Amino acid sequence: MSNKATLRKIIIGQLATLTGDKFQDFCDRFCLKLHPNDYQPVRAGGRPGDEKNDGYCPEARIFYAAFGSRNQKLVVIKSKIKKDLLGCLKKQVEVREWCFLTNDDKLPGNIEKYLDQEFRRSKKFQKKYPKLKIKASGAILIANVLLTKFSEAEIFEILDMGSPSSDAATVGQLSEINETTKRIEKLIEARAKSVDLESSTASLNATISQAKPVVDAQENDVAQSKYKAELESAKSLLDQEEFKASRKIYEKLLMNFESDDTIPQLIRFKAHNNLGACLASIGENKGAVLHFKKAYELIGMSSIIACKNRALASSLEGKPGEGLSYINAAIELNPDDNGCIHIKAMLLREAGKPEEALKLYQE
């Protein structure tokens, strides 16, 4: 594997771990380098929020929308694009170019088709905005830009991974492991979110093992539960990265569950698991650990998600060695899950075994 190929793999793997504010922070670093004399980061302020503008170039009039949409449902991505684009055009002036940035390593082809049909080739839209350029860049295109325009050191700075070790001969040594030790806690918060947003039919950022009876046998219980509306509302908010609002619903649900012995095991798992996701995403690691552990106790090794997040809980506790048994169980359930490989590499790196972590990327 060449240095460039290795670095590309690191970039795409690293982007896969970023969600919410973590992905937007990356996009700010990326755009600040891409437009060094023009780009202005934007953060929500007060009731108006960010005015549908995650960052922009005041001179070039380029506006960016950042969304960690890796493995998101197509309908969620389309809704986000439409809401952000039309909102930006309504609230901002002289928008010459609008760019949607995502950490998806394979931006779905039908997203490009959607952009063409709804905006780029829409006569009604083009009549109103004839000169507007609309672009979408996924992880692969972002990686191409990084590799083309920036040095290795700059790339690691943009990824917030620190510079490659001064005594490393190539990128394919210590720096290949996806993150450095001093950055690990921040990355775990994002990584936890990237593997936990699940539903009974389609996981948002990971896939639950539906072949296992303990999961499949209770799908009807979820659909028929009297808490179905609350579960769907909380999940929808989580999909939209509205972590605090989603958290409130899950916490209320779990309080209700305490006095209701009829709640199926799978519903309890979902509530604990996704509450852990909310907490990890807003930096409340202690609470995230508690709920990831409870979720695992309910489902155990029948779920890839439960195993992944139990491994992450061990990492958050500073016990990476303990987490290896859980991530190995997840790998046994699905050897082709790249998310499992990234988490195992992270755990090995934390445990002081960078050589073993490196082997995972060289296999």
CB 281 within 8 A of CB 299: no
Q: Specify if 177 maps to a domain.
A: no
Q: What is the pLDDT of residue 222?
A: 57
Domain final position from 137, 170, 203? 170
Helix (H, G, I), strand (E, B) or coil at 227: coil
Q: Which residues, including other chains, have CB under 8 Å from residue 360's CB and lie 6 or more apart?
A: 341, 344, 345, 348
Residues 195 and 288 in one domain: yes
Q: What mean pLDDT value characterizes the chain?
A: 77
pLDDT higher than threshold 90 for residue 32: yes
Residues 99 and 211 in one domain: no
Residues 231 and 155 in one domain: no
Helix (H), strand (E) at residue 194: helix 184-194
Residues 149 and 200 in one domain: no
Residues 154 and 218 in one domain: no
Number of domains in the chain: 2
The tokens of 190 are what? 């994002």
Residues 68 and 195 in one domain: no
**What's the rounded mean pLDDT across residues 77-89?**
91
Q: Specify if 52 maps to a domain.
A: yes
Q: What is the pLDDT of residue 200?
A: 29
pTM of the model: 0.52
Residues 105 and 149 in one domain: yes
CB atoms inside a 10 Å sphere around CB 3? 12
Residues 166 and 188 in one domain: no
Q: Distance between CA atoms of 73 and 103, rounded to whole angstroms? A: 14
Residues 146 and 228 in one domain: no
What are the angstrom distances between the C-alpha of 255 and each of 219, 251, 261, 304? Answer: 22, 6, 12, 26
The tokens of 347 are what? 């755990």
Domain final position from 138, 170, 202? 170
Q: Which residues, including other chains, have CB under 8 Å from residue 7's CB and lie 6 or more apart?
A: 147, 152, 155, 171
Helix (H, G, I), strand (E, B) or coil at 187: helix
pLDDT classification of 327: cutoffs 50, 70, 90: very high
Query: pLDDT digits over 294-321, tens only?
Result: 999 988 788 888 898 999 899 888 898 9
pLDDT above 70 covers what percent of the chain?
Answer: 77
Residues 295 and 327 in one domain: yes
Residues 218 and 254 in one domain: yes
Residues 105 and 46 in one domain: yes
Q: What is the pLDDT of residue 221?
A: 55
Of 351 and 354, more confident: 351
Domain final position from 170, 204, 225? 170
Q: Distance between CA atoms of 124 and 144, rounded to whole angstroms? A: 33
What are the angstrom distances between the C-alpha of 105 and each of 49, 52, 69, 72, 207? Answer: 29, 24, 10, 12, 16
